[in-house]
Amino acid sequence: MACATTLSRETIQEHPRDEGEKTLDYFAGVDIGGTKIAVGIGDASGSIIVESQLVTAEIAEGGQALDAITDQINQLCQKIGITRQQLRAIGVGSPGPLDGGKLLKTANLPEQWDGLDIEGGLELRSGVLTVVENDATAAAMGEWLYGAGKGLRHMVYVTVSTGIGAGMVVNGMRDAGIQGNAGEFGHLVMKTDGPLCRCGKHGCLETLSSGTAIARMATERVADSPFLQAASALDSASVFAGAYANDPTCQSILESAAFYLGLGLSYLVNLYNPQMIVLGGGVMAHHHEWIAAIRENTKRFSMDAMYPAVQIVPAQLGTASGVQGALAAAVMGQTRA
Ligand SMILES: [Zn+2]
């Protein structure tokens, strides 16, 4: 089979579980990323029982990816001794842009995957109802079902990582737009003469406040900063370390990034009037201290009447958030058929 070489590199991790908590209904969560594809089997409570990973770059063609994911789900089911009939739905979190359950052209995945019908293809191969969500929407559903936003009716999730994205819960339902792409928050143009973005526009929020943007500013301003000159890498981690060590250049880079991120969040406050904005993603996960500066700017630019209603908090789901988000998408989508 074409995916055999890929599967030889898999890493399977089994999570301990209480035998008394066995359930008849299981769900699969598939988190497709530019580096890896994480596959997990869990239950409706969000517990991941078993998971494994595939290396994205080793799968050249989209159909092979679907074969490999299906094979992986089968192996994981066998490993925990459940049948395919006990799998109620497969949830997938995928980089956008999407057109429903299909991939459009995406910069994060191999070019040969363009146009891939993830939803139809996985459903055909597995015989299990499949639900595909934009990865930020899936992560929002994870935080909403299992994390910081549990039980809220109005919540926005924002990821700040190499890029920036958002997912919305409005009136107790996910709000993903007609194609599933709502929440392209990172591509709101905040500065029309700003840096060129990978989407082709200038001055998107992602070019001003993401981990990639912070690293770019470190490179641009290294001559002003003895701390950055001595740093082992010009990345966002070095900028945060410099700011904690009171390096004025690093502090100024983060002030600028927090300014635009807070400004962007104020648009979400005014548009959605959410109870909570949950901040996740790699940059936020390591720097909860930064949230105070972001809140300050959000308060500054939001309508005075609306800011007091919103809490801005860090995400609660950790490194497994991608698979848990995809699992949440499966749990929420199981009634779609
Ligand atoms: Zn952009």
The rounded Å distance from CA 187 to ligand 1 centre is 4
Distance 215 CA to ligand 1 centre (A): 17
pLDDT at 10: 45
197 alpha carbon to ligand 1 midpoint, in Å? 5
Res 107: pLDDT: 78
Give the model's pLDDT for residue 265.
Answer: 98
200 Cα to the center of ligand 1, angstroms: 6
Q: Other C-beta atoms within 10 Å of 309: how many?
A: 13
User: How close is the Cα of 335 to the center of ligand 1, in Å?
Assistant: 34
Cα separations in angstroms, 161 against 19, 115, 127: 37, 25, 34
10 vs 60, higher pLDDT: 60
What would the mean pLDDT of 68-73 be, rounded to a whole number? Answer: 97
How far does the centroid of ligand 1 lie from the alpha carbon of residue 196, in Å?
Answer: 8
**Cα–Cα nearest to 8, from 81, 59, 84, 66:** 59
| CA angle (114, 118, 120) in 5-degree steps | 125
**Cα 207 to ligand 1 centre (Å):** 7
In this predicted structure, which of 97-101, 201-205, 248-252 has the lowest mean pLDDT? 97-101
pLDDT at 39: 97
pLDDT tens-digit readout, 258-276: 999 999 999 999 999 999 9
- The alpha carbon of 264 and the centre of ligand 1 are apart by a number of angstroms equal to 14
How far apart are the CA of 184 and the centre of ligand 1, in A? 9
HEC per residue, the chain: CCCHHHHCCCEEEECCCCHHHCCCCEEEEEEECCCEEEEEEECCCCCEEEEEEEEHHHCCCHHHHHHHHHHHHHHHHHHCCCCHHHEEEEEEEECCCEECCEECCCCCCCHHHCCCEHHHHHHHHHCCCEEEEEHHHHHHHHHHHHCCCCCCCCEEEEEECCCEEEEEEECCEEECCCCCCCCCHHHCECCCCCCECCCCCECECHHHHCHHHHHHHHHHCHHHCHHHHHCCCCCHHHHHHHHHCCCHHHHHHHHHHHHHHHHHHHHHHHHHCCCEEEEECHHHHHCHHHHHHHHHHHHHHCCCCCHHHCEEEECCCCCCHHHHHHHHHHHHHCCCC
| pLDDT band at residue 12 using 50, 70 and 90 as cut-offs | low
- pLDDT tens, position by position, 168-178: 999 999 999 99
pTM of the model: 0.89
User: Domain limits of the chain?
Assistant: 4-135+320-333, 148-314
- How many Å lie between the centroid of ligand 1 and the Cα of residue 206? 6
How far away, in angstroms, is 186 Cα from ligand 1 center? 6
Q: Is residue 3's pLDDT more than 60?
A: no
How much is the pLDDT for 15? 59
Residue type, 143: E
Spatial CB neighbours of 220, under 8 Å, sequence gap ≥ 6: none
Query: From ligand 1's centre to the CA of 27, what distance in Å?
Result: 34
Q: pLDDT band at residue 242, thresholds of 50, 70 and 90?
A: very high
Domains 4-135+320-333 and 148-314 share a fold: yes
Distance CA 164, CA 218 (A): 18
Residue 8 has pLDDT above 60, yes or no: no
pLDDT value for 318: 79
pLDDT, tens digit, 9 for 90 and up, residues 271-304 = 999 999 999 999 998 899 999 999 999 999 999 9
Q: What is the pLDDT of residue 85?
A: 85
CATH of 148-314, one of 3.30.420.40, 3.40.190.10, 3.40.640.10, 3.40.50.300: 3.30.420.40
In CATH terms, 4-135+320-333 corresponds, of 3.30.360.10, 3.40.50.1820, 3.30.420.40, 3.90.1300.10, to: 3.30.420.40
Q: What spacing in Å lies between the alpha carbon of 164 and ligand 1's midpoint?
A: 9
Taking 60 as the threshold, does the pLDDT of residue 181 lie above it? yes
